[in-house]
């Protein structure tokens, strides 16, 4: 296993479109994913895309921690049983749970809602900065796992944001290119003092999380 060097904004590998993986079960793909996971963990990222470690292939890894505190603070223990909730609330509750560590090969995204939301994003390839980025609030994504199995999920909120961010890397897009207001790009050290004030209506988890 190895911790890989992370490409930073300006490196051509981050600007090119990555190639599909021909065989998800190939040993070299398994090796790449193992190193990506170790690199992501070492760097403290939420996600990582292969081009970020100088490999122009359509592979992403991510892990989305659920709003466990929020669940434990009321919705789960004190809230009404699921049967009593309206469809929208049940939907939302499902998406608040942890998304397991996921390896996605040749992923595709389908946007399910035209609604977008602004939320903070950071990137291991754009160190030291955080920006407010508009993203689709609900998506469906599918791709292949390491055994060649199909993975298909619907995602909302932060989960959907992470997947969109990582898949953008496969098309040579970094999050600042998705921003519609560059005045909301900030140094991480300053963002805590200023950006949060402007977005204090955002849900708490959207404020503090950052990813790869
Ligand atoms: Ni990134």
Chain position carrying tokens 């070299």: 28
In a domain, 212, yes or no: no
How many domains is the chain partitioned into structurally? 1
Of 188, 186, 139, the closest CA to residue 167 belongs to 139
Q: Flag whether pLDDT at 204 surpasses 80.
A: no
In a domain, 2, yes or no: no
Q: 165 C-alpha to center of ligand 1: Å?
A: 6
Phi, then psi, of 189 in degrees rounded to 5: -65, -25
In a domain, 91, yes or no: yes
Exposure class string for 89-119: b at 16+ Cβ within 10 A, else e: eeeebebbeebeebbbbbbebeeeeeeebbb
Q: 210 C-alpha to center of ligand 1: Å?
A: 9
Q: Which residues make Cβ contacts (< 8 Å) with residue 86, sequence separation at least 6?
A: none
pTM of the model: 0.80
| Tens-place pLDDT, residues 19-31 | 999 999 999 999 9
Domain membership of residue 137 as a residue range: 12-206
Q: Flag whether pLDDT at 207 surpasses 60.
A: no
Catalytic: which of 147, 166, 190, 204? 166
Give, for 116, the enclosing helix (H) or strand (E): strand 116-123
Q: 198 C-alpha to center of ligand 1: Å?
A: 23
In a domain, 78, yes or no: yes
* Side-chain half-sphere exposure of 148, counting CA atoms within 13 A: 6
Q: 193 C-alpha to center of ligand 1: Å?
A: 23
Higher pLDDT: 144 or 84? It is 144
In a domain, 16, yes or no: yes
DSSP state, 68? H
In a domain, 1, yes or no: no
Q: Which residues surround ligand 1, an ion (CB under 5 A)?
A: 123, 212
- Residue 179 maps to which CATH number? 3.90.45.10
Mean of pLDDT over the chain: 85
* pLDDT band with cut points at 50, 70 and 90 for residue 191: confident
| Tens-place pLDDT, residues 81-129 | 556 666 666 655 555 667 889 999 999 999 999 999 999 999 999 999 9
Q: Is 200 a catalytic residue?
A: no
Q: 96 C-alpha to center of ligand 1: Å?
A: 22
Q: Report in angstroms the alpha-carbon separations of 50 from 59, 105, 203.
A: 5, 10, 30
Q: 185 C-alpha to center of ligand 1: Å?
A: 15
Q: 23 C-alpha to center of ligand 1: Å?
A: 24
Length of the chain, in residues:
212
The lowest-confidence range among 79-83, 168-172, 189-193 is 79-83
């Amino acid at each position: 296993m190895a911790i890989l060097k992370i490409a930073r904004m300006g490196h051509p590998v981050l600007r090119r479109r990555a190639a599909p993986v021909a065989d998800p079960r190939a040993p070299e793909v398994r090796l790449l994913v193992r190193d990506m996971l170790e690199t992501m963990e070492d760097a403290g990222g939420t996600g990582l895309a292969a081009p970020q470690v100088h490999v122009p292939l359509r592979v992403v890894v991510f892990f989305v921690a659920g709003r466990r505190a929020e669940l434990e603070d009321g919705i789960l223990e004190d809230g009404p049983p699921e049967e009593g909730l309206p469809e929208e609330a049940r939907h939302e509750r499902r998406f608040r749970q942890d998304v397991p560590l996921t390896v996605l090969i040749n992923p595709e995204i389908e946007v399910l809602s035209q609604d977008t939301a602004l939320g903070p994003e950071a990137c291991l390839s754009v160190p030291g900065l955080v920006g407010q980025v508009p993203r689709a609030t609900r998506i469906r994504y599918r791709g292949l796992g390491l055994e060649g199995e199909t993975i298909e999920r619907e995602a909302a909120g932060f989960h959907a944001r992470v997947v969109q961010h990582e898949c953008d890397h496969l098309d040579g897009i970094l999050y600042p290119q998705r921003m519609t207001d560059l005045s909301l790009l900030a140094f991480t050290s300053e963002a805590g003092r200023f950006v949060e004030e402007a977005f204090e209506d955002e849900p708490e988890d959207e404020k503090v999380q950052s990813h790869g």
